[in-house]
Structure 1
């Protein structure tokens, strides 16, 4: 993979970007390719694949998960088992090798969600998410009931014994490393103490460092 300070994109890197966008964040793609998130964003703009919603009026399953501070597998489960209105469509195009080693365009099926249809479903499935950490107006138009539900979920999540689930770990990592929020603000959002959050960040960093070392 190219150095993050190298401007040129190799065909292999472009193929990875085309394949991964919509299922991985710009930060994750940048980390994988050894480039900066801004470089990934610029290249996606150049290829015309930077914003699914602008291109199609829909958002991907991954984009919805990020907006709701949750993870992709949960959205997929809600689509499969709870009727969340997601449809598989082929807006993404990727380059693939045919049997002769030549590159050809190939449509890639991904789950897409219409935001207005999602809100209609969510009103009848309010307990499917913890709404407190969801940023205000992250999915427009946001219904009035969401703001009230944020307040309810803040108290509800603080009343139970706090534990670090996979979902909360992903929220913590994304809010701190991808969105750049301060630790105290994240602790308030997640309903845990500042010290508990600092310790969990240390554990997550140590875990990821060990996982990376195994790969190398």
Structure 2
């Protein structure tokens, strides 16, 4: 049984957003027949057909932990797309252009000195300047028991959040949250 042009278009449109089981059911075909057709269409590897990066791939390029990228997605509005590959595996993809738009607004979160030139093309012009600025990022850095004791001690002695922040090399917001957690 031949696939109609509408069937082929539906496969292209839904591949990645629906499981193969769902697509096969809509087309009234077997999963094996659908897999063969997808392979013949050159769409068998959903992950590589997107032209986007996974959170893990982006983390590796930026030389940060994968969980850091996941936090950017969940808490800092980095745009992402979820796709289903083959039957069940769900991947989180990041469009490179959307990443650069987000990165320009969130430059303080990324140490561009670790980023190889043209690792994420097309690289905006502003990245070259940012690459020369070495940053000591403390985002998502675990707190030591010693740091927690110091924060409480300095806070009780009347030091401001700005002073404590400068002494520990952390943001005022992280100091405020830590004090709140320790005093509750």
Q: TM-score, normalised by structure 1?
A: 0.41
Greater fraction strand: 1
Q: TM-score, normalised by structure 2?
A: 0.48
